[in-house]
A and B are shown apart, each in its own frame.
Chain A
């Protein structure tokens, strides 16, 4: 079975190490959530897996193969990214942007053929973006752009989709819609989905397993119930919160309260 494995990896920029000795594993059909405060290294982890930065030590394996030995194109055939706040060229049409997802499968001299267009069409159907395929990106809403980048990631036909704060700029409806879609794709297409999240409730509801980062190290990991509780959040985020079982599905639900009422409890 295809898997993603980080083996004792340290990542950083020139002299500053951001992530220390991270080891983790993800399997198809599973959503792995990465949570942790600002600056804990969530985005750095995604840059490392897509080799935008070279590891200081350790290795990252895709299906047992070290990514350091793969070229960019081969890597992009396996790993797709849904970036946070991506720059999208405004004059291009939605379809043209999704077609860019075929890039890793096309050589310099090849244009998109029947198969590529069929793949793109399927990706756009799955993300319900086909309706505005011919509209210019500049005219689309934040939610539509988010779905478009997911469609582009699907058009890559990857084994792994990395989502960096996919809900950061969306209203609550689009947040749910985006993660519903991520989970559906993950299950149906047997994808590995790794998602970084700020919102602990979304993380708890949607992720099969969570990794909580603190200061560039894995603080704890496991199923949401094992990771999200008042004590870990106090220690990692420094925030006083209340965690109760969700009334519908018993998953941990984080509740906040302002300092005015905090002492009452």
Chain B
């Protein structure tokens, strides 16, 4: 297991061919996980209501068992931290992780640097589902919008998948083309509905750009199992995904059941993407840029790339959302605007730095 590798790399008895890269990548995974933890705590303090850091620490410590701290803070502080900021932060982290992992998976499966989690219809299906939800005379509380978005996303991919399938095999190029075509069709319907939406336009547009406002705990609870299970499944298939970077024939000749791996990975990546977008909308850019940035820095080995992208995606979206809710507070900027606005320059900088093949 991973522990065996860890032990071997760190002790490295047969040091001659153990690459130094492995050790640095393992440290990078641990480092990013730690950074994620720190960022979660620090950003809890940031917002329209300023919470001094020492107050935050005391509020957090008081929640731990066996520690009794006298509540010296205003009672609304606790509400802000635990009922408003923490769920929002966690959802942003989960969604960022999910989109980055799904993007890495799609890029690996399609062996295409332009692939992102929305490539084969997830976004268009989710958008249509959500817009239909907005048109219904039911409000957010009923949960029809996320449910319809989730169903729309899964249905769209299922249709694309069944169209592209030839006998027992799934040609990836056909899959992409079917995804693009169905996506265009769904977008046409969505666009018409948006024009016909009248006073619901503002809500629809901000959903389409992606936003975490009004996040509550039940949303976090709903999304977590999907993203957690899907991510674990994908992590476990890191080596087959590496071997599939050769090409399908070579992968088969190395003993990989290519069609089965494709199905499992497509299913898992689609599931976590659908879960990620259904509450907060179509947040762009995370799923395509985070995998590339991580690959540029730490290399293409999916056994390291996938966990690194998971943590990097979470960090990136938490930071983006913090900017989105504080920059023009109390007005919120859609987080999708921020991800592109912050992410694009950083990515262009990385491209300038490396100047070699990036995929």
Contacts and interface: CB of A to CB of B under 8 A. Distances in A.
Interface of A: 47, 50, 52, 71-77, 79-81, 83, 86-93, 95-97, 100-101, 103-104, 106, 108-114, 117-118, 120-121, 124, 130, 133-134, 136, 138, 156
Given A86-B247, A87-B246, A109 B253 contact: no
B184 to A, nearest CB: 30
Nearest to B20: A134
Interface stretch (B147-155, B295-303, B342-350): B295-303
**From DSSP, what is the main secondary structure of chain A's interface residues?**
mixed
Given A108-B236, A109-B236, A118 B245 contact: no
A97 B246 CA distance: 9
Interface stretch (B64-72, B91-99, B214-222, B254-262): B254-262
Contacts, number: 110
A202 to B, nearest CB: 23
Contacts of A50: 252-253
A225 B66 CA distance: 89
A51 B183 CA distance: 36
B136 interface: no
B18 to A, nearest CB: 7
A83 B254 contact: no
Contact of B254 (A71, A92, A103): A103
Contacts of A114: 8, 13-14
Contacts of B236: 108-109
B237 A108 contact: yes
B198 to A, nearest CB: 50
B17 interface: yes
B328 interface: no
B261 to A, nearest CB: 10
Contacts of A96: 242, 301
Contact of B246 (A100, A106, A110, A111): A100
Nearest to A90: B357
Interface in B1-43: 1-2, 4-5, 8, 13-14, 16-19, 21
B239 interface: yes
16 contacts: A74-B255, A79-B253, A86-B250, A87-B246, A91-B299, A92-B242, A95-B19, A96-B301, A104-B254, A109-B236, A111-B303, A114-B8, A117-B14, A121-B16, A133-B19, A134-B19
Nearest to B254: A103
A111 B1 contact: yes
A77 B255 contact: yes
Contact of A121 (B5, B8, B14, B111): B14
Interface of B: 1-2, 4-5, 8, 13-14, 16-19, 21, 111, 236-237, 239-240, 242-243, 245-247, 249-250, 252-257, 295, 299-301, 303, 356-359
Contacts of A133: 17, 19
Contact of B4 (A93, A113, A120): A113
A89 to B, nearest CB: 4
A89 B300 contact: yes
B239 A106 contact: yes
Contacts of A104: 254-255
A76 B250 contact: no
A92 B18 contact: no
A236 B17 CA distance: 48
A52 B300 contact: no
B357 A110 contact: no
A71 B252 CA distance: 11
A76 B359 contact: no
Contact of A117 (B18, B111, B250, B359): B18
Given A88-B246, A106-B239, A113 B8 contact: yes
Contact of B17 (A52, A87, A117, A136): A117
Nearest to B167: A14
* A90, A100, A108, A120 interface centre (most CB from chain B within 10 Å): A100
Given A72-B252, A111-B4, A138-B356, 15 more contacts: A47-B249, A52-B249, A79-B253, A86-B247, A87-B250, A89-B246, A91-B295, A91-B357, A95-B17, A100-B243, A109-B236, A113-B4, A114-B14, A117-B8, A124-B17
Contacts of A136: 357
A103 to B, nearest CB: 5
Contacts of A76: 253-255
Given A73-B255, A77-B255, A111-B303, A103 B243 contact: yes
A156 B243 CA distance: 13
Contacts of B300: 89, 91-92
Given A95-B17, A109-B1, A103 B239 contact: yes
Contacts of A81: 250, 253
Contacts of B239: 103, 106, 108, 111
Contact of B255 (A75, A109, A112): A75
